[in-house]
């Protein structure tokens, strides 16, 4: 199993698309507030289509709360600029894949404090980053590939 953590996501369509990925893979979705939209937003629901009932969603008031609730789990922090390639990391069952908001990513101090757990998707310059929902899909499927795609056909 994989856990996807979105820290203060801003764009409802991205979160809806990520929810759809979680539904298709059995991944758990964690939303860290504040959100840049209402969970009743029609764009969020439309992007998730009719998959919302298949997603286990947890809401958290802060990222610190996520860490307190899951102290012994492996965390990996997605970033566009630092860390090892995502394919060089090993994602055990129960891994938490952490992603920042679309406009700024994860806070620099969080990345610095967890430098050994930072992973990145290689990309060419001058591209800033991939779309959040695309980055989540790539990392989720790599983690599940390493685990042998448990429960997937």
Binding site, by residue number, is 100, 121, 129
Beta-sheet pairing, 57-60 with 75-78 = unpaired
- Among 84, 89, 91, residue whose Cα is nearest residue 149: 91
Six-digit token pair at 72? 């012994």
Binding site for S-adenosyl-L-methionine, by residue number, is 100, 121, 129
The CA distance from 144 to 134, in Å, is 15
């Amino acid at each position: 199993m994989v856990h996807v953590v979105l820290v203060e996501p801003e764009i409802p369509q991205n979160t809806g698309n990520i929810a759809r990925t979680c539904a298709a893979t059995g991944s758990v979705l964690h939303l860290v507030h504040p959100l840049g939209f209402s969970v009743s937003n029609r764009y969020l629901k439309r992007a998730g289509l009719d998959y919302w009932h298949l997603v286990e969603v947890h809401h958290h008031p802060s990222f610190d709360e996520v860490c307190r609730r899951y102290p012994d789990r492996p965390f990996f922090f997605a970033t566009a600029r630092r860390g090892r390639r995502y394919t060089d990391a090993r994602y055990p069952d129960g891994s938490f894949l952490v992603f920042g908001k679309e406009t700024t990513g994860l806070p620099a101090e969080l990345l610095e404090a967890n430098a050994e757990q930072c992973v990145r998707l290689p990309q060419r310059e001058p591209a800033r980053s991939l779309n959040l929902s695309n980055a989540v899909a790539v990392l989720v499927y790599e983690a599940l590939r390493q685990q042998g795609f448990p429960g997937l056909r």
